[in-house]
Amino acid sequence: MTFTTPEKERTHSMMKITTCSVRIAVTALAVLISTAACAQSDAQKSFTQLKSLAGTWQGKNGQGMPLEVKFRDTADGSALMSEIQGHGPENMISMIHLDGPNRLMITHYCSAGNQPRMQGTASPDGKTFTFDFVDATNLATPDAGHMQRVVFTIVDADHHTEEWTFMDHGKQMKEFFDLRRKA
């Protein structure tokens, strides 16, 4: 026969309560961590939205000349490649990607021979994505010709526009593409 004192019973009850409280706290913490891990940043949401452009697009440039733009998800989903064909003598490539979870970037491989990097932000409605110049590789001088800004606007699943801004010694030149998804 085992006898317990009221003191032992109180201690045993307190241990049960403490153990239960710790379990509840650990479970709550695990739920909060998993919820935070699943939540996407604005940059990640924007990147996901831009990936919806994957495919071939046709349209005209600002001078009414036909052009084709192809978007392709690449690098195991870590980059979206855009290739502009029919715009001048050379094709141009741009790579859209995340730089960490909170920074959306585009690197434009330009026919000017340099590679400007631009940081993206989304409009509140999530349909317009504006990328502004951060820096560039192979840029002879800060005022040498380079892409300064690009704005992608997703009108609907089969229509988007692109506005490219080129800066050269303080002079701004814009090119506007109105593109429809190729069937």
What would the pLDDT profile of 9-50 be if each residue is shown by its tens digit?
A: 666 666 566 555 656 555 545 444 444 445 889 999 999 999
pTM value? 0.78
List Cβ neighbours of 47 (8 Å cut-off, separation of 6 or more): 80, 96, 97, 98, 104
Structural domain harbouring 94: 42-181
Q: What is the mean pLDDT of residues 110-116?
A: 94
Give yes or no: residues 15 and 67 share one domain.
no
Give yes or no: residues 16 and 3 share one domain.
yes
Give yes or no: residues 61 and 106 share one domain.
yes
Pairwise pLDDT comparison (130 vs 24), residue with the higher score = 130
pLDDT of residue 152: 98
Give yes or no: residues 24 and 91 share one domain.
no
Give yes or no: residues 46 and 16 share one domain.
no
CA dist., res. 180 & res. 56, Å (int): 9
CA dist., res. 104 & res. 27, Å (int): 33
Q: What is the pLDDT of residues 75-108, one digit of tens each?
A: 999 999 999 997 666 789 999 999 999 999 999 9
pLDDT of residue 183: 75
